[in-house]
Structure 1
Amino acid sequence: MTAARNSAARNPLAALWWVPRGIIFGLMAFFIFGPLFNLLLWTVAEKWYFPYSLPLEYGFSSWAKVFAPRGGAMESLTNSLVVALLTVVVSLLLAIPAGYALARLKLPFRGLILLAFLIPQAFPNLTVYVNIARIFYEIKLNGTIPGVVLVHVSHGLVYAVWIATAAFSAIDVELEQAARNIGAGAFRAFLDVTLPLAAPGLMASAIFVFLESLDEFTGSYFVGAPDVNMLPLLLYTTAAGGNYQIASITALLLLVPSLVFMLIVERFLKADVLSRVGH
């Protein structure tokens, strides 16, 4: 302690080392939490206009409008949750056998198969969804929940298959072989040994798919609108109309589950699983 004080006394600039770091961390906190604080203010602002930096009146009348029968928020929230849950179910039904095969079997062109799941992310979403909407219109899927689910699954499979493959790869194959040696069949060994061990990774995969579906706008717009109302569509229409209170409340409804689920993912996804993603 005395040596540090003597060093600071000899070199006054050394005592100011925390100033640039404090400025950097302060700016980072402002850019991260500033927009969130502004969002929260708009959710309770009754009257707020330039040049005032804070709302002139506070209240919850906008919340009542959002959740009123004619507000559209409850219908949009219900549709978003139903579509997200169905997307998770379909994605996992496809990803679990695919991930297990990619992790356990010596498949030719395994790397190309994994890369193929990234194709939906490789092209501009707008052009892809315009053509999907045209095809779905011809087969009567446009403007339906199954149609929206299929579009969301095309993006959700990226997370589902890659994380499922990593989860199964992180499990020692000898555990499954030990179950087979004491008389369990292949399917029984998978259900009793491999699947429970892979459950945390699969749960994290499901959460990623759920959040991706919940926030998906472009596919929901071109395939679902105007018959299937979703929260991202409500957020877009209210923000475009200048109703920032309703838009902020809708954005908060989308933000809260994202924050909660990301904390859950952080607990489920271990380092051994993350190290095998893409391998």
Structure 2
Amino acid sequence: MSAAAETSAGMRQSSFDLWWVPRAIALGLLAFVIFGPLTNLVLWTVAEKWYFPHALPLEYGLDYWGRVFSSRGNAMESLGNSVFVASMTVIVSLALAVPSGYALARLKLPVRGLILLAFLIPQAFPNLPVYVNIARLFYQIGLNGTIAGVVLVHVTHGLVYAVWIATAAFSAVDTELEQAARSVGAGAMRAFRDITLPLAAPGLLASAIFVFLESLDEFTGSYFVGAPDVNMLPLLLYTAGAGGNYQVASITALLLLIPSIGFMLVVERFLKSDVLSKVGH
């Protein structure tokens, strides 16, 4: 090989290697944006003493974990209420979403698009004025400050995910499978129970997880309808953060973050592109 060819090949190789510099910088910045706040959060959960201008905590320990989970910390009560409310929200939302989603997926309704759009109405307006008026209404009928009232508020938001994903899940199931089951003598309910429902189960599971996470993280509705009688983790997080107790706030945020990450991995496993493609169709 001539010297000119070797020089040209060396320049191309050098140019190719230099492409990794901006890529590495971009990936590094992205990792910092994503993991920087999470690292700061984890550090606050074990920081006993940390103040400006120190970049790292001066003392580490788990004393604040003991305070959070003590009988006076309200964390266990708040965690129990949050999980119970989220579970009840999932049950009520799916009880409404499964028949609604099946009907919207199978029936040729002339206003099908408007019905799906109607479930987005709670998301179309600012939460604050909506929840203020709901709290006033619930106070008049005795639901303010009750678990049932908080569940009903959470269901209004959970139905958006539940109905849309359930509709997509049932739309992804081939109608010919139901027809084949009916042709060999299965009734409508048995064909739904034995054929359609198991095939739509992954999408319904993803729907349940979305509703659970939405309920678990809901603050505004829990505050206006539940506080101060119903303690919830988002309310505990807000109280600790507003009071400058960053250790308690970070521990509470971590309790909310862990199930969110775990459940999102499950959603990614079960909610496939063929289901997503049916959303809105």
| Secondary structure in structure 1 of the residue aligned to 2:48 | strand
| Matched-pair identity in % | 78
| Secondary structure in structure 2 of the residue aligned to 1:21 | helix
Alpha-carbon offset, residue 9 of structure 1:
3.0
Query: Cα–Cα, structure 1 residues 8 and 225, in superposed 2: closer, same or farther, change >3 Å?
Result: farther
Query: Cα–Cα, structure 1 residues 169 and 11, in superposed 2: closer, same or farther, change >3 Å?
Result: closer
Query: Cα–Cα, structure 1 residues 166 and 4, in superposed 2: closer, same or farther, change >3 Å?
Result: farther
The one-letter amino acid paired with 1:260 is G
1:17 correspondence with 2:19:
yes
In the alignment, which residue of structure 1 is the partner of 2:115? 113
The one-letter amino acid paired with 1:182 is V
The answer to whether the 8 Å contact 1:117/1:157 transfers is: yes
The answer to whether the 8 Å contact 1:204/1:269 transfers is: yes
RMSD: 1.4
Query: Cα–Cα, structure 1 residues 6 and 158, in superposed 2: closer, same or farther, change >3 Å?
Result: same
1:89 correspondence with 2:91:
yes
Summarize the alignment of residues 183-194 of structure 1 with structure 2, pairs less than 5 Å apart: 183-194=185-196
**Bigger shift: residues 18-27 or 37-46:** 18-27
Query: Cα–Cα, structure 1 residues 194 and 11, in superposed 2: closer, same or farther, change >3 Å?
Result: closer
In the alignment, which residue of structure 2 is the partner of 1:157? 159
The one-letter amino acid paired with 2:20 is W
The one-letter amino acid paired with 1:131 is N
Equivalent in 130, 143, 146 of residue 145 of structure 2 = 143
Alpha-carbon offset, residue 16 of structure 1:
1.6
In the alignment, which residue of structure 1 is the partner of 2:203? 201
The one-letter amino acid paired with 1:58 is Y
Alpha-carbon offset, residue 97 of structure 1:
0.2
Query: Cα–Cα, structure 1 residues 198 and 8, in superposed 2: closer, same or farther, change >3 Å?
Result: same
Alpha-carbon offset, residue 8 of structure 1:
3.7
Normalised by the length of structure 2, the TM-score is: 0.96
| Secondary structure in structure 2 of the residue aligned to 1:46 | strand
Equivalent in 155, 169, 172 of residue 170 of structure 1 = 172
Alpha-carbon offset, residue 6 of structure 1:
4.7
The one-letter amino acid paired with 1:35 is P
Unaligned runs of 5+ in 1: none
In the alignment, which residue of structure 1 is the partner of 2:247? 245
Unaligned runs of 5+ in 2: none
Query: Cα–Cα, structure 1 residues 57 and 113, in superposed 2: closer, same or farther, change >3 Å?
Result: same
| Secondary structure in structure 2 of the residue aligned to 1:277 | coil
CA distance in 1, matches of 2:85, 2:28: 39
The answer to whether the 8 Å contact 1:87/1:152 transfers is: yes
**Bigger shift: residues 180-189 or 245-254:** 180-189
1:61 correspondence with 2:63:
yes
Alpha-carbon offset, residue 271 of structure 1:
1.1
Alpha-carbon offset, residue 19 of structure 1:
1.2
Normalised by the length of structure 1, the TM-score is: 0.97
Alpha-carbon offset, residue 108 of structure 1:
1.6
